[in-house]
Amino acid sequence: MIRPALLLGGLLGLLAPALPALAEAPDPNMLYNRHCAICHGVSRLGGIGPALLPDNLSRLKHDEAVSVIRDGRPATQMPAYRELLAEEEVLALAEWIFTPPEHEPSWEAADILASHEVRHPYGSLPDAPVFEVEDLKNLFIVVEIGDHHVSLLDGDRFERITRFPSRYALHGGPKYSPDGRYVYFGSRDGWVTKYDIYNLAVTAEVRAGINMRNIAVSADGRYVLAGNYLPHSLVLLDARDLDLIAVIPVEGLDGETSRVSAVYTAPPRNSFVAALRDIPEVWEIRWPEQRAEGDEAIVGDFALHRMEAPDYLDDFFFDQQYRYIVGAARGGQGGQVFDMDAERKVADLPLEGMPHLGAGITWELDGRRVMAIPHIDKGQVSVFDMSDWSLITHLETDGPGFFMRSHENSPYAWVDVFFGPHHDRIHVIDKQSLEIVETLIPEPGKTAAHVEFDRRGETLLLSIWDDDGYLLKLDANTLEELDRMPMRKPSGKYNVWNKTQYEEGTSH
Ligand code: DHE
């Protein structure tokens, strides 16, 4: 008996000479323009969909891109293309979005101005909240990266006040105005969004760059600074309506331009500090009242103060006075302490690999202040004495961690095991004995990460970092579970009080 497949193969063999030699390879550029450009922008810069440029997609795996194009993305406007595109076209498109464009895209002041939208001008909305809570300072903002939403929670009742869509892929902590009424979000695609918590409304938005790292809000609440990878720039905005004040090109003393790793606000200095990835300098942006002799003018009376560093310094941790910066040196060469007053390096730290300095926290131990830092590439928490920068201990954990948190009123510091087989574990460290006293596995197989305390440090929220995830509310002292709230891959949580008071147990 002849099997059908063989029969078909035979017939095709006979027909072969009559068929065209080879079907043409799909043209991803043409496919992009036909199917994708309308949402993702003609130059792949993004529109209602995210930018599709390799740097913006660095955290998306190739296979994931294939399945998003083929099957769509649930709970978003991204449709499934499996009926419209052949499999090889899907594969070609997925490959193509990870290749750099022929011409490096630009984002100038004119683009920033054109993207600016003010929905509710500063001062036009009522000053009283439209909802009732016991304590406006005990609210939490939670970023849900699963479907790009944000939730606002009443921290006392553990209830959701509202949930609203965010820009695609928010990154870095949202930043509050000093009074806690407004919160500013930064997205990896460069969008800065201002939200009025009292009126539950987005008031203004602007796109500061194509690939942005994070934003900072000045301690006096007047300015917002955005730091970009692409273009190599800092963008200074008026915090009221996000009006553009200045685009500051990042160019070193040697003429090299640089990506911005991150920007920070330095409250006691009333300035911004920028970590730069490609030049060995630390930049401080000062405004009129702080301007000093020798500073370079930016615009009006804003000034740039450059500090030459002995090495490239990345991913900063600050002491509480914002005098010292601990930065990771390039290529895993350890950490360095840089004195911003004396403008020189004062210590080297034995921090091999990739310390996650941005997640560092501090506390009092035997009358001295210590800082603790997790590592992204090894199961270790490093604890240093900040009075002389000596190493106290490297604490072994069950795998590399990403976030650390504590609270002045809590005896414990929390560190997750974000990477590796034990990503469902979270360690509880006794801040005095420097020992892991408990390891929780809240949901076997699911990542448990990022803790945030309520304003009093009595309870805490922990993310079960999954599309069908949830927030766990725990008693901060007994570690007992108190409640849960379903969420779509909740990532960071930010308590108004802890953030606006620069609580010692939280990163800023
Ligand atoms: Fe982050 C904060 C850098 C990847 C979630 N991350 C920060 C900050 C920096 C930083 C410098 C502090 C800025 C701030 O809060 O304003 N992050 C980096 C990286 O260099 C890295 C390793 C690679 C990258 O692609 O950028 C990186 N970060 C991630 C992720 O993959 C995470 C887990 C998921 C995501 O959303 O992208 C992630 N980063 C976060 C979060 C914060 C953050 C939730 C805020 C932490 C906080 O508690 O304040």
Per-residue pLDDT reduced to its tens digit, 291-317: 777 788 777 778 999 999 988 888 899
**Per-residue pLDDT at 374:** 94
Candidates 180, 204, 147; CA nearest to 469 is 147
pLDDT at 119 > cutoff 90:
yes
Residue nearest to atom 10 of ligand 1 (CA): 172
Candidates 144, 191, 180; CA nearest to 164 is 144
DSSP-derived secondary structure letter, 400: -
Pairing relation of β-strands 281-286 and 223-230? unpaired
Mutate which of 57, 167, 171, 263 for ligand 1? The one with the most ligand atoms within 8 Å of its CB, which is: 171
CATH value of 350-508 in 2.40.50.140, 3.20.20.70, 2.140.10.20, 3.60.130.10: 2.140.10.20
Omega into 20 within 30° of 0, i.e. cis?
Answer: no
Candidates 427, 440, 347; CA nearest to 387 is 347
**Per-residue pLDDT at 346:** 95
Q: Report how far apart, in Å, the C-alpha atoms of 500 and of each of 150, 177, 183, 221, 495 are.
A: 19, 8, 11, 11, 8
**Per-residue pLDDT at 1:** 33
Domain boundaries, the chain: 21-97, 350-508
Residue partners of 294: CB distance under 8 A and separation at least 6: 305
Residue nearest to atom 43 of ligand 1 (CA): 172
pTM to 2 decimal places:
0.90
pLDDT band at 7 (very low <50, low <70, confident <90, very high): very low
Phi-psi region of 481 (alpha: psi -120 to 50; beta: other; left: phi over 0): beta
Residue 452 CA: nearest ligand 1 atom is 48
In DSSP terms, 427 is beta-bridged to: 415, 439
**Per-residue pLDDT at 299:** 79
pLDDT at 222 > cutoff 70:
yes
Residue partners of 341: CB distance under 8 A and separation at least 6: 323
Least confident of 159-163, 328-332, 346-350: 328-332
What pLDDT digit, counting tens, does each position of 465-496 carry?
Answer: 999 999 999 999 999 999 999 999 999 999 99
pLDDT at 352 > cutoff 80:
no
Residue nearest to atom 44 of ligand 1 (CA): 492
Angle at 89 between CA 86 and CA 91, to 5 degrees: 110
**Per-residue pLDDT at 23:** 62
Pairing relation of β-strands 412-416 and 404-405? antiparallel
Residue partners of 487: CB distance under 8 A and separation at least 6: 142, 144, 146, 151, 463, 469, 470, 471
CATH 3.60.20.10, applies to 21-97: no
**Per-residue pLDDT at 331:** 65
DSSP string, 426-453: EEEEETTTTEEEEEE-SSTTS-EEEEEE
SS3 9: helix
| Centre of ligand 1 from the C-alpha of residue 481, in Å | 27
Q: Are 21-97 and 350-508 equal in CATH topology?
A: no
